[in-house]
Amino acid sequence: MSSENESNPLAIIGASQVVTLAGPARPRVGSELRELSIIERGGVFVRDGLIERVGATAEIEKLIDSNTTVVDAGGRVVLPGFVDAHTHPVFAGTRVDEFEERSKGATYAEIAARGGGIQSTVNRTRAASLDQLVETGKRYAQWFLRGGTTTVEAKSGYGLSLEDEVKILRAIKKLNEETGLRYVPTFLGAHSVPPEYRARREQYIALLVEEMLPTIAREKLAEYCDVFCEQNVFTTDEAWKILSAARCHGLGLRMHADQLSLSGGAQLAAELGTATADHLEHTDEAGIAALKRANVQPVLLPGSVYALGSSRYPAAREMIDAGLAVVLATDFNPGSSPTPSMTMILSLAATHMKMTPAEAITATTINAAYSLNRGDQLGSLEFGKIADIVIHDCDDYRALAYFFGIEHAWRVFMRG
């Protein structure tokens, strides 16, 4: 990653393609998902961390003077940084042991039922200090940046007590300040009911609504609230209570919906008018129609489908045909989706969800930025936007989805 002096203008020239994603100032739907607004043999000029000009290399060269830092892209592809709109990047330890068990046939649900799964990460995360969480978080921040991701939505959810959820959100705040990566924090205290509340779950809901949410809102530790709405996790009634309370505290709303079963998640997201409904592997036609009516953005997470060894990918084509502003994200977490790689997600989307490479790029940049209320600042290369720019080492953007198992990012610029 580079950190050129902000006062030094930056000129990127000689790109085979500048994939600008310029277009209407709103999330892209239908055939718009395929319109990348590519400038061949282009460049970008950055001043004070903002994009000043995007155009042909010849045009950019005219702006260069003795103060300008010039980077020759050498025929490579230039894109806005990926915006990963669904991650769980702060946790202690790994679940390599459970991964091995699953490789021998155990299922995610079985492991969770005997106290493993999310709970095993909660145990380790509760035992870790804030500094330890920041330390491991920094390692993952480097992974994201190395792959060309410049913004992540970051959920708490491995604390499940006031103290531990606050610790995770403070770690996210520190990571935002101390790494090059940009974080948008989400409170996910409703990730699971911790064992000490299993016999009195309504008291955990009360803790979420009456203590955790007011504290987190007062300390401005999160912009969004999320709930894992699923059979045996949180019911739609519980999710409604938690999300309605979050809205009263001024938080935006997101939801884990219909991941492992059709459990009314998409319908509830529509009823509440959440910003996003995430996962949606089991969502039916009626659910898709409800999301459309309520203008909810689906956030599809094929990494978790792949890593759980499932073949039930979400119905991306039907969602695009229905006019939904589809987003793709990694769901980076230690259980169901241990990948920070957006290019892996592009590959899965093209191969298993029949999204074209162009649609997948739109879903990981401009549409993702809008889902985080950052569409006016991030997600495309347009005048006045924040200069989070990545040069990828290929000469055609489709190669990002086509070659898989490698990262293509060659230079990553945060604010120029």
| Residues in a beta bridge with 411 | 391
Q: Contact region for ligand NIG (CB under 6 A) — 75-83, 238-246, 330-338, 401-409?
A: 330-338
Nearer to Fe ion, 84 or 331 (CB): 331
Nearest residue to 400 (alpha-carbon basis) of 345, 352, 354: 345
Query: Minimal CB distance to ligand NIG: which residue?
Result: 335
What would the two tokens of residue 263 be?
């459990």
| Of 119, 149, 186, 259, the one binding ligand NIG by CB under 6 A | 259
Contact partner at residue 297 from ligand NIG, Fe ion, none, CB < 5 to 8 Å by partner kind: none
DSSP-derived pairing of the beta strands 69-72 and 50-56 = unpaired
Nearer to ligand NIG, 336 or 367 (CB): 336
Nearest residue to 119 (alpha-carbon basis) of 106, 108, 129, 104: 108
- 83 binds ligand NIG per the rule CB under 6 A: no
| Residues in a beta bridge with 151 | 83, 182
Q: Which helix (H) or strand (E) holds 227?
A: strand 224-229
Nearer to Fe ion, 281 or 331 (CB): 331
**What is the Cα–Cα distance from 405 to 376, expressed in whole angstroms?**
32
- 330 binds ligand NIG per the rule CB under 6 A: no
- 416 binds ligand NIG per the rule CB under 6 A: no
| Of 17, 161, 283, 336, the one binding ligand NIG by CB under 6 A | 336
- 303 binds ligand NIG per the rule CB under 6 A: no
**What is the Cα–Cα distance from 373 to 358, expressed in whole angstroms?**
22
- 118 binds ligand NIG per the rule CB under 6 A: yes
Contact partner at residue 43 from Fe ion, ligand NIG, none, CB < 5 to 8 Å by partner kind: none
Contact partner at residue 102 from Fe ion, ligand NIG, none, CB < 5 to 8 Å by partner kind: none
Contacts of 140 (CB under 8 A, 6+ apart): 89, 332, 340
| Of 89, 335, 357, 416, the one binding ligand NIG by CB under 6 A | 335
Contact partner at residue 118 from ligand NIG, Fe ion, none, CB < 5 to 8 Å by partner kind: ligand NIG
Q: Which helix (H) or strand (E) holds 11?
A: strand 10-19
Q: How long a stretch of residues is the chain?
A: 416
Using CB under 5 A as the criterion, which residues of the chain lie in contact with Fe ion when the complex forms? 331
Q: Which helix (H) or strand (E) holds 168?
A: helix 162-178
Nearer to ligand NIG, 256 or 282 (CB): 256
Q: How far is the CB of 294 from ligand NIG (least distance, A)?
A: 22
**What is the Cα–Cα distance from 186 to 213, expressed in whole angstroms?**
11
Given 3-state DSSP classes, what are the helix, strand and coil percentages for the chain, each rounded to the nearest 5?
A: 40, 20, 40
Query: Minimal CB distance to Fe ion: which residue?
Result: 331
- 331 binds ligand NIG per the rule CB under 6 A: yes
CA distances from 400 to 39, 137, 243, 307, 361 (A): 17, 26, 37, 20, 9
Q: Looking at residues 129 to 188 of the shown chain, list those that interact with ligand NIG (rule: CB under 6 A).
A: none
Per rule CB under 6 A, count of chain residues that contact ligand NIG: 14
**Which residues would be at the binding site for ligand NIG (CB under 6 A)?**
88, 117-118, 121, 228, 256, 259, 304, 331, 333-337
